[in-house]
Amino acid sequence: MPCLFSPFVFLAKKARLFILKIVNKKTIFFIFIVAISQLLSCKNTLSIAPITTFRDVTDDLNRRVKLPNKVERAISLAPNLTENVFAIDAGNTLIGVTEYCDFPEDAKKIQKIGDTIKPNIENIIALKPQIILVSTASQLENFTKQLDENNIAVFVTDPKDLEGVYRNLIQFGEIFGKTEKASEIVASLRKRVAEVELKINTTKDLKVFVQISREPLFSIGKTSFLNDVIKRAGGISVTDSINEPFPKLSKETALASNPEAIILSESPNNIEPNDVFKDSNASKNKRIFKVNADIFSRPGPRLVEAIEIIAKNLHPESFQ
Amino acid sequence: MIAEKINLKSKYQRYLVALLGVLILAITTAIFLGSESLLFTNLNEQQSVILFEIRIPRVLLAVSIGASLAVAGAALQALLRNPLAEPYLLGVSNGAALGTMLAFVFFSQFEIARPVFAIIGAGLATFIVWQIANSRAGMNTERLVLAGVIVTTLLSSVLILLTSLLDATRLRSFTFWLLGDLSQASPTAFYVVFATAIFGTIILLSQAKALNLMMLGERDAADFGVEVKKTRLIVFTTASFLVGISVASGGSVGFVGLVVPHIIRLILGSDNRIVIPASCLFGAAFVVLADTVSRTAISPRELPVGAITALIGCPLFIYLLKKS
């Protein structure tokens, strides 16, 4: 039997703060008792009442993002963020992802809402998400007003290193109410990295060139998360003085850097090193290897896998 | 009268020698500057590789591309009696760009596919423009330019469509290439561009006299004994080759074909016997300097050279226009 009084109870709760100002505490206690008795009399339908309370979380740009207590409908606008959400067992809350979100397997079944650079704002609003996870602030700049009007929160991530990835996982744990799972995942990732670091702590760091694209020659700079990945895997990027995440590099500088190892982010245009490296130490010692671009280029939980692969290739003697 | 003629000839020769001096100066500067500083008195093995296998070939590539684009622009402007005639306006450049892009998407593993497809693209674009412009009433300049604009617009749309369909990593390398990028050319490509630039300039120079007369108007030129159709075919084909090869190896380096011949004409007058060789030398020097800026301004990173040519070219052009 439906409870006739539940809307009034809802209103009473909403008005509580207002009443607090004008009446004394005893009266409030009395009203509270009455309210409780009303609630108890119709406890079966209690859970249906739309009591939404909000909380604040802080994103990577130090914005305060207002979120409902329980997040059940989320959209991810980058493959690494989709992987993060699945890693903390919150994949079932995702109602929209990008065309590039292909990992884990379940992510492929979720509705696609365009790609990372140009998401479809109509699809996004139609899906009625409570939160959108984005990887760059500019992604949704033009739509911020529309999203605000529709009460859709935007959470911006910007991991600059492995710690940033851990931080994102913990933040996502808070957002989706999976704090324990998130700390568990982060702890196990930390453990795997620590194991790698332990194995290679006596070896000498190798000079590494990371080739993102062969022609034109693109590499990584100081502000890329990959700089940190290389460091943790027992290497030092020869381009780590460049203050940009993915610089187009002068071939003269590339040749002069004479790396001891070359890592190729594997894609159809990037399966062998640029010609300028043909006399480098890396070519002489045959220390050239590929890493799957999906593992290598997404700052998510699989980055630890990249560290393991790179460390094994840079220092095979430590992994025997 | 005769003395005047000789005087004019020696004056032209002096200008050409001066421009050659400018070009040599530009080349020398470009060779001395780069993201790696070299001690030229004592080169180690690595530095000599940098100098001889990276820097000098790239500077010479800039020479060839600059010469090709400037000469093609000069000849097309004379042929069409249109100051806006430029490889880009006539769709030749975009044809080459589309050809290169298709090679890039479907045959990225074969380096030779890019110049081949670019020439085919430039040739096809030229042929289509030619066909549209050719009517029963014969061809006139307006029809040709209009056809060029239509084909250019169509090809631009296809290029944009293709770039939107490519995935992110390919998109990045291609957008760089579209803005002009001399770092990607292979040594074999360089020889092809160099040879094309030289032969192209010689062929166009052989048409200079005919072009001079055609600037009076095609009917007048015919009265003077110029084979209008033949000249048009030769100039159009040669320009397509020059532009096609340049685009395939260096991307779309804009503004060279427009700005360089105009500057030359403002200084030296519009006799094609002097405009064509002078454009060749000045165009080469111009692109060499622009590429030096793109290599060194934010080294070890690089800028797209097409943006630099536009940035240098436009103000210079406006200045000369106001002054004359």
Distance from CA of A256 to the nearest CA of B (A): 7
Question: Which residues in A lie closer than 8 A to residue B186 (C-beta atoms)?
Answer: 275
Top pLDDT among B21 and A28 is at: B21
Contact in structure between B64 and B194 (CB atoms under 8 Å): yes
Q: Are B71 and B200 in contact (CB under 8 A)?
A: yes
Between CA A298 and CA A296 the distance in angstroms is 6
pLDDT of residue B126: 83
Question: Looking at the predicted complex, does its ipTM rise above 0.90?
Answer: no
Across the interface, whether the CB atoms of B300 and A253 are under 8 A apart is answered yes
In angstroms, the CA B179 to CA B247 distance is 10
Its pTM stands at 0.79
Structure tokens at A26: 């005893």
pLDDT at A244 over 90: no
Residues 6+ apart with CB under 8 A from B125: B90, B91, B92, B94, B95, B96, B98, B151, B155, B240
Q: Quick check: B108 contacting A, CB < 8 Å?
A: yes
Residue A151 pLDDT greater than 90, yes or no:
no
Please report how many Cα atoms fall inside a 13 Å half-sphere around the Cα of residue A94, on the Cβ side: 30
Using 50, 70 and 90 to split pLDDT, how confident is the model at A301?
very high
Contact with chain A for residue B163, Cβ under 8 A: no
pLDDT tens-digit readout, B157-185: 998 888 777 765 566 667 777 778 888 77
Lowest mean pLDDT among A219-228, A300-309, B253-262, B285-294: B253-262
Find the angle CA(B110)-CA(B113)-CA(B117) to the nearest 5 degrees.
160
Q: What is the pLDDT of residue A45?
A: 45
What CA–CA distance (Å, rounded) separates A267 from A253? 23
Between β-strands A206-211 and A288-292, what pairing exists: parallel, antiparallel or unpaired?
unpaired
Range in A14-28, A49-63, B280-294 with the lowest mean pLDDT? A14-28
Average pLDDT, chain B: 85
Query: Who wins on pLDDT, B129 or B60?
Result: B60
pLDDT of B60 > 70? The answer is yes
Task: Report the residue of A117, A249, A251 to disrupt the B interface, i.e. the one with the largest count of B CBs within 10 Å.
Answer: A251
User: Whose CA is closest to B267, among B321, B188, B191?
Assistant: B321
Query: pLDDT confidence of A142, banded at 50, 70, 90?
Result: confident
**Residue B85 neighbours by CB under 8 Å, 6+ apart:** B73, B76, B77, B79, B145
* Interface residue B156 vs chain A (CB under 8 A): no
Nearest to A248 among B36, B168, B301 (CB): B301
Convert the pLDDT of each residue in B4-19 to its tens digit. 666 667 778 899 999 9
Q: What angle do CA B235, B236, B241 make, to 5 degrees?
A: 100
